[in-house]
Amino acid sequence: MKAATHFLIAFGLSINLFADSFVSAAFTSLSSVIPSLTASNTTTAYIVELSSAASNSSSKRKRSLTPHQDLYNELRRKDVAFSSGTEWHSEQIFVGVELVLNSLADLDAVANADNVVAVRPVLTFQPPALVRTHSLTGSSDPALPPDTQSTHVMTGVDMVHAGGNFGQDIKIGVIDSGVDYLNPTLGGGFGPGFLVAGGYDFVGNAYTGANTPVPDADPLDTCFGHGTHVTGIIAAQPGNIYNITGVAYKSSIYAYRVFGCTGGVQDPITVNALLKAYDDGMDVITLSIGGASGWSESTTSIIASRIVEKGRVVTASIGNDGAQGAWYPSAPGTGKGVISVGSVENTQLPAINAVLSDGHAPVPYFSLRPFPVTTSLPIYATSKDITVANDACNALPSSTPNLAGYVVVIRRGGCAIVDKLKNAAAKGGKYFFIYNDGTALGVISTGTYIGALIRAEDGAYLVNAFKTNANLRVSFPQTLANTVPVDGGGLVSSFSGMGPTYELNLSPAVMAPGGNVISTMPRNMGTFGVSSGTSMAAPFAAGAAALILKAKGKDKATCKSVKGLLQSTAGMIPTSGVDGAPIASAAQQGAGLINVYQAIQAQSVITTTELLLNDTLFGSNYQLVIIRNPTKKTVTYNIDHAAGITLSTVNPSNGLPNMAPIPTVPQTAGVTIVGKQVTVWPKLIGMFIVKTTPPTGLDAKTFPIYSGYITICSSLGETFSIPYMGTSSRMRDMPVLDQSDVFFEAQIPIMLTGSGYPADAGTSFTLVGSDYPAILYRRAAGSPSILADLVSPNTTVPGAVQARSLSKRGTLWNWLKGIFGNRNNQPTPGTFANVRTVGPIQNVPYSPRHEMEDAERSGYDFVRVQNYLNTTSIANGQYKLLLRALKVTGNAAKQEDYESWLSPVFTVNAPTPSASVSANTTLV
């Protein structure tokens, strides 16, 4: 089982707070799903996109009024009950409106209205996760700061700074929880002339993502801290007690606040923030916001992509779902052209030495501030066995003494650290050392308790002393933290989300420091703190982009080149610190760790910075790479390649995705470079061809992701590398529906009664209250389209086919229109290879896969057979439910491209059929 704790924040979208470990049973009892089965939520809020220059879709008729007024008038004529929310009028980026419908049946009318280009559901995004946070409290902190510039050294930012480039004149929009600009390290004020020169609060303190936002002009953050930490990474001013500076600290910050003090954000708010940041002329926009997706389609991804297309830089964090394995990057980072950023660990950690009375070497504990203890304390170990895997995960035995006067020593692992501290605190414990269990060292989150991580070997020494030397005492000099190099520094953070997308796009695009980063916090939350997360990596990359724009100009062409520059000059990251360790997968590290100095210094231009080899069905074995030599010298380029590890992403025995650490196989792709040396005359271009052969001898059912890097060394002394990545399987074969009994005790999908018990064939339901069939299922992979239809009881699949026009599938048709726009890959009526259906119950576009190990996150879904999708009631009679999941790269018009599951026969026997189902829907 995995070492991660996840907390559910919002239905379907969840936050990964990455505490240290947790216990999860291999089986989840069916009864545990009942609470969520009985709570059925219907969303009827949509973002309706209207035709505009940006949508690249010509309107069906000439506009008379605004397109919004036209839409409202048309809907009123058609008797559609709706209420409209925010309108967007950005002709160049996005024209549309937020609509709440009273009935799903009206979706047809909306989607078919003149000028409507797309209808997309309103999504709620999770609050960005600080994976670990450690706050410092104010002025009592001792003043000697650690050297926190290690993140700058890792990425060449120190050398860019040495040249006097601090991002002057670049405007950076930070879409986050606001900022405490009154923190002196963030300029001490707001408005023209201050570091935080502008911005807006779209939500107010009380906003949770589920209530009405109360906007105002002031984006001050005094209750969340996330945006304040993010802003310090970009722009902390020199001269502070921790001696930190931001990556681009002479840039101008605009803070767009989209989170209240708690909760999430609905994407219309994020749309507002993106459009305002664009209108305010931000050169760089950064979002540390996301929801696990695996796909590139959501309103915010699309708008972010359009802003990139207009010549601005957008960075976004890839998410903190690294424990969940491959195919799980977050939107909107997955948007085209957006720079999605993963996290690497800082190379240095702040540490303070505790002194032992027996003369043994001091014990460093990883913390920015010393424990507030001026006497020496004896130690108490909660276990005398240093191998016990779940030390202090349960209440301590009654024989435990009062721990108030001790330093309590506990082994890491087995449950969340805070749970261990809570158990020890229940016995009076006040000060805690957690000794490491082999996971990465770091500044850990201890909640309100005073505790810190120590090294495993120091823990072993202390536990042994506890057994043998009752006199050992520990003291805590009130001295300065210094920074110490740590194993694992510079490596990919275990929490960093892993791609690729299901379309085999590279995501993350690049990596930046995000693990154990010291930055600013609101004054009332410690003023400074250490946090970890891809939330920290995205603003770092935004600062890096600002340095590049400062160096090269901020015209449209330069802005569009930033992603490629960061990618081609990034450094490959190894899988471990051991010499000769293999290179990590491009699915995990994208193009590698950014090097801003090289991105700015490089003169040659590599125009192809990702070689996306797709799957065995759609991939191409030949890739062309073009090099431009804009200098006045003839330059010679030597080309080579280095393989990365090959990941087995799916467990072939049950079709479920493998969790981290993902198994690897030794086979790598064959790579032949045609033109290993290329000489390019001044001002001309040169090229070479990369021929790849997917690794052979692998089980295609493991969906191996192979990858590596083409390296280019120039006679000017430049080095570049470009990732290649593909899978030696067909994505169309990837199992979508979990048909195993791994997660629940029962084989799924399974038909349950509305109260959560397996329902036998022939069960009769009244569809009143909770007396309805509910099909429990899980997605082992994402699907472009999940369909649930009632079919007649004699239906078999495949078979009983009878031509049926897909255009009759009213709502699906509109979903497809919303998702695909008006492109041609819509199925044409009559070509759907046709299972005759009675009526649709559910259609869901572009679903991510489910969490595999933790039911409390989004671990499963239901199809509730209560009424048709259009809210019409189901006539009495016998039915089966046909659940279909379109396979990745599948053709929506072909039955054989779906995975299908057919329920047992059930009977609908409503007491008074016409009144059995209420048409009332919940407004959100």
503: contact with ligand NAG by CB under 6 A: yes
H/E segment holding residue 13: strand 13-15
Q: What are phi and psi of 91, to 5 degrees?
A: -55, -35
Task: Please list every residue from 832 through 851 that binds ligand NAG, using CB under 6 A.
Answer: 839
> 29, 42, 56, 479: which one contacts ligand NAG (CB under 6 A)?
56
**Closer residue to ligand NAG (CB): 196 or 504:** 504
SS (H, E, C) 80-121: CCEEEEEEEEECCCEEEEEEEECCHHHHHHHHCCCCEEEEEE
Give the interface segment with ligand NAG, choosing from 248-256, 497-505, 541-549, 858-866 (CB under 6 A): 497-505
Task: Please list every residue from 685 through 744 that binds ligand NAG, using CB under 6 A.
Answer: none
868: contact with ligand NAG by CB under 6 A: yes
Instruction: Report the distance separating Cα 712 and Cα 608, nearest Å.
Output: 12
**Closer residue to ligand NAG (CB): 231 or 889:** 889
**Among the options 176, 738, 854, 897, which is catalytic?**
176
**Closer residue to ligand NAG (CB): 266 or 494:** 266
Minimum Å gap between C-beta 502 and ligand NAG is 9
Minimum Å gap between C-beta 218 and ligand NAG is 28
Nearest residue by C-beta to ligand NAG? 839
Residue 214, Cβ neighbours under 10 Å: how many? 13
Question: How many CA atoms does the CB half-sphere of 342 hold within 13 Å?
Answer: 36
Task: Please list every residue from 75 through 134 that binds ligand NAG, using CB under 6 A.
Answer: 105
Instruction: For residue 870, give the amino acid letter.
Output: N
**Closer residue to ligand NAG (CB): 504 or 647:** 504
Residue indicated by tokens 């410092």: 136
Minimum Å gap between C-beta 889 and ligand NAG is 4
Instruction: Give the dihedral sign, CA 230/235/238/244.
Output: positive
**Closer residue to ligand NAG (CB): 373 or 838:** 838
The distance of Cα 284 from the centroid of its chain, to the nearest Å, equals 20
> 889, 891, 903, 916: which one contacts ligand NAG (CB under 6 A)?
889
629: contact with ligand NAG by CB under 6 A: no
For residue 661, whether the previous peptide bond is cis, meaning omega lies within 30 degrees of 0, is: yes
CA 316 to each of CA 128, 537, 572, 611, 624: distance values in angstroms, whole numbers, following the listed order? 11, 9, 20, 21, 29
Minimum Å gap between C-beta 499 and ligand NAG is 11
Give the interface segment with ligand NAG, choosing from 448-456, 666-674, 715-723, 865-873 (CB under 6 A): 865-873
620: contact with ligand NAG by CB under 6 A: no
Q: Which residues pair with 121 in a beta bridge?
A: 46
Q: What is the CA radius of gyration of the chain?
A: 28
Minimum Å gap between C-beta 792 and ligand NAG is 4
Instruction: Report the distance separating Cα 515 and Cα 727, nearest Å.
Output: 29
Give the interface segment with ligand NAG, choosing from 64-72, 451-459, 503-511, 736-744 (CB under 6 A): 503-511
**Closer residue to ligand NAG (CB): 160 or 491:** 160
The distance of Cα 296 from the centroid of its chain, to the nearest Å, equals 12
Instruction: Report the distance separating Cα 348 and Cα 442, nearest Å.
Output: 9
What residues contact 387, with CB distance under 8 A and at least 6 apart?
A: none
**Closer residue to ligand NAG (CB): 413 or 543:** 543
**Closer residue to ligand NAG (CB): 764 or 918:** 918
User: 324 — alpha (psi -120 to 50), left (phi > 0) or beta?
Assistant: alpha
> 65, 81, 206, 210: which one contacts ligand NAG (CB under 6 A)?
210
Task: Please list every residue from 631 through 660 that binds ligand NAG, using CB under 6 A.
Answer: none
What residues contact 188, with CB distance under 8 A and at least 6 apart?
A: 181, 182, 194
Task: Please list every residue from 128 through 167 that binds ligand NAG, using CB under 6 A.
Answer: 145, 147, 149
**Among the options 535, 707, 721, 728, which is catalytic?**
535
> 55, 505, 589, 629: which one contacts ligand NAG (CB under 6 A)?
505
Convert residues 345-364 into a mask of x (bound to ligand NAG by CB under 6 A) and - (unbound): --------------------
Minimum Å gap between C-beta 385 and ligand NAG is 40
Give the interface segment with ligand NAG, choosing from 445-453, 502-510, 664-672, 762-770 (CB under 6 A): 502-510
> 7, 194, 618, 820: which one contacts ligand NAG (CB under 6 A)?
618
Q: What are phi and psi of 590, to 5 degrees?
A: 55, -135
Q: Is 176 a catalytic residue?
A: yes
**Closer residue to ligand NAG (CB): 472 or 816:** 816
Residue 476 exposed, middle or buried by CB count within 10 Å (0-12, 13-18, 19+): buried
Task: Please list every residue from 781 through 820 that binds ligand NAG, using CB under 6 A.
Answer: 792, 794, 800
**Closer residue to ligand NAG (CB): 194 or 618:** 618
Closest to 731 in 3D by CA, of 820, 632, 619, 811: 619
475: contact with ligand NAG by CB under 6 A: no
End-to-end CA distance of the chain: 37
Minimum Å gap between C-beta 731 and ligand NAG is 7
Q: Which two tokens stand for residue 94?
A: 């996005």
SS (H, E, C) 564-628: HHHHHCCECCECCCCCCCCECCHHHHCCCECCHHHHHHCCCEECCCCEEEECCCCCCCEEEEEEE
Give the interface segment with ligand NAG, choosing from 77-85, 285-293, 599-607, 611-619 (CB under 6 A): 611-619
What residues contact 25, with CB distance under 8 A and at least 6 apart?
A: none
Task: Please list every residue from 534 through 563 that binds ligand NAG, using CB under 6 A.
Answer: none
**Closer residue to ligand NAG (CB): 157 or 195:** 157
Minimum Å gap between C-beta 419 and ligand NAG is 24
Running DSSP on this structure, what letter comes out for residue 667?
-
H/E segment holding residue 304: helix 299-309
**Closer residue to ligand NAG (CB): 28 or 651:** 28
Q: Is 535 a catalytic residue?
A: yes
Residue 826 exposed, middle or buried by CB count within 10 Å (0-12, 13-18, 19+): middle
**Closer residue to ligand NAG (CB): 98 or 419:** 98
> 504, 542, 606, 662: which one contacts ligand NAG (CB under 6 A)?
504
Minimum Å gap between C-beta 485 and ligand NAG is 14
Task: Please list every residue from 8 through 47 that binds ligand NAG, using CB under 6 A.
Answer: 11, 36, 39, 41
Instruction: Report the distance separating Cα 708 and Cα 645, nearest Å.
Output: 8
H/E segment holding residue 467: helix 456-468
Q: Tell me, by CB under 6 A, how many residues bind ligand NAG.
A: 27
Q: Is 180 a catalytic residue?
A: no
**Among the options 134, 152, 161, 226, which is catalytic?**
226
> 86, 103, 614, 909: which one contacts ligand NAG (CB under 6 A)?
614
Torsion of CA 888, 892, 895, 899, to 10 degrees: 30
Instruction: Report the distance separating Cα 873 and Cα 635, nearest Å.
Output: 73
Give the interface segment with ligand NAG, choosing from 500-508, 649-657, 662-670, 679-687 (CB under 6 A): 500-508
CA 723 to each of CA 215, 352, 669: distance values in angstroms, whole numbers, following the listed order? 43, 40, 13
CA 58 to each of CA 54, 61, 275, 822, 828: distance values in angstroms, whole numbers, following the listed order? 10, 9, 22, 10, 21
Q: Report the interface residues with ligand NAG, using CB under 6 A.
A: 11, 36, 39, 41, 56, 105, 145, 147, 149, 210, 243, 503-505, 612, 614, 618, 792, 794, 800, 839, 868, 870, 872, 889, 918, 920
Catalytic residues: 176, 226, 535
